[in-house]
């Protein structure tokens, strides 16, 4: 996770970066992060975690209190935003309402002193890239939210920057359009080979689009990993709870041996788990398991599977999945997700069932 001053392969590099607004409280704490050329990296975290501040320092709209930020090997701390050659896409689009779409895209090229013919060619190419070529004569108010967001993306790409920063760019769109734009942005970035740093608090967005995700909390990166690594192998309780839905059961470690931690839950049940950040017998732990890794009335999980008694609290039809809330081992908010299959049994509140999972899917995290 740490970057070093000698990391020559990094295209973007934060080296021991700190940020404070009042001279006392650090909103970004000793950030070390290397981002490779052509990488799509997402900064993910709740409000106030420091992710947007990190993006704004890279853009040049905020100044680092300590540390260095480098772009392609060059320190950029004291370079003004318009001279960094970085494309930006914001949630509110930031299009000029009195200009046509063509004029909106032409403006950053004019600022760079580009000739008229070259400007027109680059604008045409950028609008075609986002399938907005026939809308060039319109003004922003004549476009839908999704169309305006495409134009904002085209404007960020029109001067062919090597780095594009995106701050919650899809937050104002409805769910279906947001999902469509996620794939379009990812495909465009892959096709052009640009480096993208993307900020969001939407976990699904981060998992769908990114090569790597940096999960922020309290001004620090809690985990930096590929999406599947982040989801399947969270390194602490915060990441496990923040990324996707997650079940937790409290207990105490009884033994750690051969890569397996035996945990006695507060309910008295004993289960085997993968030890992640517990070290010895007696450690308190929060055991984590994903809802889709649990089976109801399991019959084929194998001899080493754990099974526990459970009572159905709620059974919800969600279309592609059924979401069952159970009372298990002292927790009455234990969730199981099962695929909607033919002849799926519908459970009733109060019904007693057994649930099961394999120990490899269960992790002993910090309490």
Residue keyed to tokens 């990296």: 41
* pLDDT exceeds cutoff 90 at 3: no
* Mean local confidence (pLDDT), 312-328: 93
Least confident range of 133-147, 188-202, 300-314: 300-314
Tens digits of per-residue pLDDT, 115-125? 999 999 999 99
- Per-residue confidence (pLDDT) for residue 244, from 0 to 100: 87
- Per-residue confidence (pLDDT) for residue 4, from 0 to 100: 45
Least confident range of 150-159, 320-329, 336-345, 347-356: 336-345
* Domains of the chain and any CATH numbers: 12-237 (3.40.50.300), 245-366 (2.40.50.140)
- Per-residue confidence (pLDDT) for residue 341, from 0 to 100: 81
* pLDDT exceeds cutoff 90 at 218: yes
Higher pLDDT, 7 or 329: 329
Comparing CA positions, the residue from 308, 284, 283 lying closest to residue 359 is 308
Least confident range of 2-16, 45-59, 203-217, 321-335: 2-16
- Per-residue confidence (pLDDT) for residue 2, from 0 to 100: 43
Distance CA 271, CA 273 (A): 7
Q: pLDDT confidence of 110, banded at 50, 70, 90?
A: confident
% of residues, the chain, pLDDT over 90: 66
* pLDDT exceeds cutoff 80 at 176: yes
* pLDDT exceeds cutoff 90 at 73: yes
- Per-residue confidence (pLDDT) for residue 138, from 0 to 100: 94
Which sign, positive or negative, has the C-alpha torsion 68, 74, 80, 82? Answer: negative
* Mean local confidence (pLDDT), 307-335: 92
The CA-CA-CA angle for residues 224, 71, 116, to 5°, reads 125
- Tell me the pLDDT of the chain averaged across its residues: 90
User: What residues are paired with 24 via a beta bridge?
Assistant: none
Distance CA 151, CA 171 (A): 16
Q: Where are the alpha helices (DSSP H) in the chain?
A: 51-59, 101-111, 116-129, 145-157, 175-192, 203-209, 227-232, 237-242
* Mean local confidence (pLDDT), 311-335: 92
Tens digits of per-residue pLDDT, 204-213? 999 999 999 9
- Per-residue confidence (pLDDT) for residue 229, from 0 to 100: 95
* pLDDT exceeds cutoff 60 at 14: yes
pTM: 0.88
- Per-residue confidence (pLDDT) for residue 258, from 0 to 100: 87
Q: pLDDT confidence of 129, banded at 50, 70, 90?
A: confident
Structure tokens at 365: 């995290």
- Taking a C-beta distance cutoff of 8 angstroms, is the pair 363, 274 a contact? yes
How far, in Å, are 70, 84, 156, 207 from residue 35 at the CA level?
10, 16, 19, 17
* Mean local confidence (pLDDT), 142-162: 89
- Per-residue confidence (pLDDT) for residue 364, from 0 to 100: 94
- Per-residue confidence (pLDDT) for residue 8, from 0 to 100: 67
Q: Catalogue the E-assigned strands of the chain.
A: 12-20, 26-35, 40-44, 66-71, 74-75, 86-90, 163-167, 195-200, 212-217, 220-225, 247-257, 260-265, 270-275, 284-289, 295-296, 306-317, 321-328, 331-339, 352-357, 363-366
Counting Cβ atoms within 10 Å, is residue 82 exposed (0-12), middle (13-18) or buried (19+)?
exposed
How far, in Å, are 10, 62, 64, 328 from residue 32 at the CA level?
12, 17, 13, 41
């Amino acid at each position: 996770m740490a970057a070093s001053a000698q990391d020559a392969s990094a295209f973007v590099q934060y080296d021991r970066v700190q940020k404070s607004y009042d001279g006392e409280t650090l909103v970004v704490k000793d950030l070390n992060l290397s981002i490779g050329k052509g990488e799509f990296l997402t900064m993910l975290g709740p409000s106030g975690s420091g992710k947007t501040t990190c993006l704004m320092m890279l853009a040049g709209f905020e100044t680092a209190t300590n540390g260095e930020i480098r772009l392609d090997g060059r320190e950029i701390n004291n370079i003004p935003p318009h001279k960094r050659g970085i494309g930006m896409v914001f949630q509110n689009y930031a299009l000029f309402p009195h200009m046509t779409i063509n004029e909106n895209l032409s403006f950053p090229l004019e600022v760079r002193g580009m000739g008229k013919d070259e400007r027109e060619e680059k604008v045409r190419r950028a609008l075609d890239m986002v399938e907005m070529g026939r809308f060039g004569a319109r003004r922003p108010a004549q476009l839908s939210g999704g169309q305006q967001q495409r134009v904002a993306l085209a404007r960020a790409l029109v001067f062919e920057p090597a780095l594009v920063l995106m701050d919650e760019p899809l937050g104002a769109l409805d769910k279906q359009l947001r999902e469509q734009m996620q794939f379009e942005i990812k495909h465009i970035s892959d096709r052009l080979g640009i480096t993208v740093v993307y900020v969001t608090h939407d976990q699904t967005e981060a998992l769908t689009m990114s090569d790597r995700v940096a999960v922020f909390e309290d001004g620090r990166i809690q985990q930096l990993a590929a999406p599947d690594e982040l989801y399947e192998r969270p390194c602490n309780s915060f990441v496990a709870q923040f990324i996707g839905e997650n079940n937790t059961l409290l207990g105490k470690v009884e033994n750690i041996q051969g890569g397996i931690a035996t945990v006695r839950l507060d309910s008295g049940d004993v289960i085997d788990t993968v030890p992640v950040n517990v070290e010895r017998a007696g450690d308190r732990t929060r055991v984590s398991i994903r809802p889709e890794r649990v089976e109801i009335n399991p019959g084929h999980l194998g001899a080493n599977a754990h099974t526990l008694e459970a009572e159905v609290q709620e059974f919800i039809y969600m279309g592609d999945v059924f979401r069952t809330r159970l009372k298990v081992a002292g927790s009455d908010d234990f969730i199981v997700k099962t695929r909607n299959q033919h002849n799926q049994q519908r459970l009733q509140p109060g019904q007693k069932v057994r649930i099961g999972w394999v120990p490899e899917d269960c992790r002993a995290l910090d309490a």
